[in-house]
Chain A
Amino acid sequence: MLRRSFAIGCAAAAALFGLLPGTVTQAGAADRFITVASTTSTEDSGLFKDLLPKFTAKTGIGVRVVAKGTGQAIDLAKRGDADVLFVHHKPSEEKFVAEGFATERKPVMYNDFIVVGPAKDPAGVKGSKDVTDALARIAAAKAPFVSRGDDSGTHKAELALWTAAKLDPAKADGGWYKSIGQGMGPTLNTAAAMEGYALADRGTWLNFRNRGDLAVLVEGDKRLFNQYGVMLVNPAKFAHVKAGDGQAFVDWLVSAEGQKAIADYTIGGQPLFFPNANEPGA
């Protein structure tokens, strides 16, 4: 009996795994690739889906993207778990370079943040060109505001804007200010569900489906500018970093070809990211 049941078990296991070698070899075959730690905005906006195949077609280098908030992405790179870092918070990026985790940061592109909120706009911020004034009105009206709260680039930008507005929303935590500790998408889902305001990057917003009654209320303030930078993780820190292929990706992004590919990505005719690799000080 034991022998028979063992045989059946083996046959079942063989049958199951016989079905799977396709996936096994396929995962093993993509041997030339780099790992890029990046942000949810580049992934959720659909930019990478458009951009990466062009790079891979030209160079034969596959790109594996781990999309996290900027803070987490930097942490991954600092642990040596990525070859390239592609994020959007210049002060953190410069610190990353200063600490020796990269030798050079290159500006790539920018997009902008927007304040979205319910179309009926209880705080009356619609059309404002002054984002700090808009935030002050939201706070005064105690209208629900949903914050990323996840140490992402967008979260850091939001906190800087509150500081510029001379307000400390953390004191209202649990009240009208709701820090949910999640990505851009879940934050928009939450804002849509509770008819709240939120700071979002335009790329994710344009690609976002579950908008409910949300609309763009504040845009165009220069302080809503959102710069992206890219850098190779320093191979002197981590010997396993794929320096050649990683540097090829960095160089392609800032090349005329890569910059054009970024500019060419549009949703409904609207560009999402604006290349500016050659802009001094970006």
Chain B
Amino acid sequence: MHDFTQALAMAVQMIVTLDADLARIVGLSLRVSLTAVLAATLIGLPLGTAVAALRFPGRRGLSVALNTLMGLPPVVVGLVVFLLLSRSGPFGVLGLLFTPAAMIVAQTVLILPIVASLARQTVEDLLVEYDDLLRVTGAGPFHTLTTLLSEARWSLVTAILAGFGRASAEVGAVMIVGGNIEHATRVMTTAIALETSKGDLPMALGLGVVLMTLSLAVNLAASLLREAARR
């Protein structure tokens, strides 16, 4: 039990004092994961809605593929993005390996299937109500998508938050493509892995508590935003 109380005390101390190093790590974590969430949202919501509402060839296959890819192991995503961005890889000339941009790319790939799949499910449920209406009014594909996205928007927040949860919690992908470089690509999860490997378990656990606090803050903000918008 001593370990846990020590970790909790350390977490409180870290949050209260918020030294420059920790602030930088937290800032980079937020920047990388939120940017990935934004990208995955912009692609995933229309994609999921299209799979749910539109009829096109390969739709069922795409749906199964998205569901399967929800289980993509982060370390595999990291490895694939690493090989693509490595100087010896096809996109090596961009020089993106070991930069936050590489981490954003990896996390976007990781969470896109989650956002798209959950969006598809949400919109499919909604479609039971709206299918007739859309058909009667003879809505085209674009109108159908925008209507459904608009009507489902607050339910879709859950899909987005699930994506954020996955992105902010994963360590395998950002460790490989970011390299856990101090002051450059070190984020919360890779810092936790590093402290664990140094055997500083209270510090590692303390950072874990800080990460969960951060996640709580993001979810609370989303929840408040949703409440405010409903009123």
Chain A residues within 8 Å of B, Cβ to Cβ: 1-2, 5, 8, 12-13, 16-17, 19-20, 22-24, 26-27, 30, 33, 35, 40, 44, 49, 62, 64-67, 79-81, 182-186, 188-189, 192, 207-211, 238, 240
Contacts and interface: CB of A to CB of B under 8 A. Distances in A.
Interface in B181-217: 181-184, 196-201
A80 B88 contact: yes
B34 interface: yes
A211 B24 contact: no
Contact of A22 (B27, B89, B179): B27
Contact of B97 (A33, A40, A49, A81): A81
Interface residues of B, number: 34
B86 A81 contact: yes
B10 to A, nearest CB: 13
B196 A238 contact: no
Given A2-B150, A20-B27, A188 B199 contact: yes
B225 A12 contact: yes
6 nearest A-B residue pairs (beta carbon) = A185-B197, A210-B199, A80-B87, A66-B179, A23-B27, A2-B150
B181 A8 contact: no
Nearest to B97: A81
Contacts of A40: 197
Nearest to B99: A27
Contact of A16 (B34, B197, B198): B34
Contact of B201 (A182, A207, A210, A238): A210
A48 to B, nearest CB: 8
A66 B181 contact: yes
Given A23-B28, A64-B181, A66-B181, A13 B38 contact: yes
